[in-house]
Every structure is written in C-alpha cells, then in structure tokens.
Amino acid sequence: MNGNGTKDDGSGTDRPADEAGLSERLQRLDRQLSQRDEKAGGPDGEEPTAKMSAIGQAFRLSSELVAGVAVGAALGWALDKWLDTSPWGMIVFLLLGFAAGVLNLLRATGSVR
C-alpha cells in the first residue's frame, strides 16, 4: 500500500489511474455504439426489424389476394370441365375469388370484421 491509499502492484502504476482510463474508454465505446445504432436505423430512423415486419406483412397481404383469385380460378376451371360450360364457370368463380381475396385483405388489415 502507498501512503495515499492506492495499491502498488510493482508495475509503477496506481490502480485509480487505470480505473479512470478504463472508465474513459468505456464511455468512448458507449458513444461509438450509440452512434452506430443511430446509423443502423436508416435515413428515416426506422428500425431494421420494423422494415422486415412491413415486408412480411406486404407478402402476407399479397398472398391473401393471389390465393383467393387462384382458388376461384381453379374451382371455375374444374366446374367448366365437369359441366362443360366452357368460359362461364371460370368467369364467375374468378370474380368470386377476387371478391373473396379483397374481403380477406380487408379482414387482415382490420378494416372489416
């Protein structure tokens, strides 16, 4: 022990001086990390995970519409083959599929119950 209350480990440095240097380095690192986090958010300040969530929601909504149209077209085609009513089943069920797809979109967004 030195006379001033610091421990001398024989290396010629006092421990409080090392702690002060460590504290300064930690504060500098914290500032650098916070600056990097601000830059990672993008130019609009939005989080990257929020952007990915928006992309996922867009894919979900588009697949809702496409699925409705595809199922309607498939049912219309099958009905036309079965009853030999060439374009009419496809037309009617394609329109019904489109309407069902739009209704599913509205339900997914919360506009309609």
CB of 97 closer than 8 Å to CB of 70: yes
84 in the same domain as 65 = yes
Considering the domain architecture, whether residues 33 and 54 belong to the same structural domain is answered as no
Distance, in Å, from the CA atom of 67 to the CA atom of 55, rounded to the nearest integer, reads: 18
Question: pLDDT value at position 95?
Answer: 96
DSSP string, 58-104: HHHHHHHHHHHHHHHHHHHHHHHHHHT-HHHHHHHHHHHHHHHHHHH
**One domain for residues 61 and 101:** yes
Same domain, 75 and 94: yes
CB 40 within 8 A of CB 33: no
Residue 101 has what pLDDT?
94
pLDDT given at position 66: 95
Statement to judge: residues 9 and 58 lie in one domain: no
Query: Within this chain, do residues 81 and 33 fall inside the same structural domain, yes or no?
Result: no
Total number of domains in the chain: 2
Domain that holds residue 26: 1-40
The answer to whether the CB of 106 falls within 8 A of the CB of 112 is yes
Residues 35 and 84 in one domain: no
Based on the fold, state whether residues 35 and 52 are members of the same structural domain: no
In this structure, are 35 and 59 located in the same domain?
no
- In this structure, are 59 and 97 located in the same domain? yes
pTM over 0.75: no
So what's the pLDDT on residue 61? 92
50 versus 4: which is more confidently predicted?
A: 50
Band (pLDDT 50/70/90 cuts) for residue 110 is: confident
Residue 33, pLDDT score: 86
pLDDT of residue 13: 53
Shared domain check, 105 and 60: yes
- Residue 11 clears pLDDT 70, i.e. is over it: no
Name, in order, each residue with C-beta under 8 angstroms of 111's C-beta and a sequence gap of 6 or more. none
Q: What is the pLDDT of residues 20-79, one digit of tens each?
A: 888 899 899 898 888 877 776 655 555 667 777 888 989 999 999 999 999 999 999 999
Same domain, 63 and 104: yes
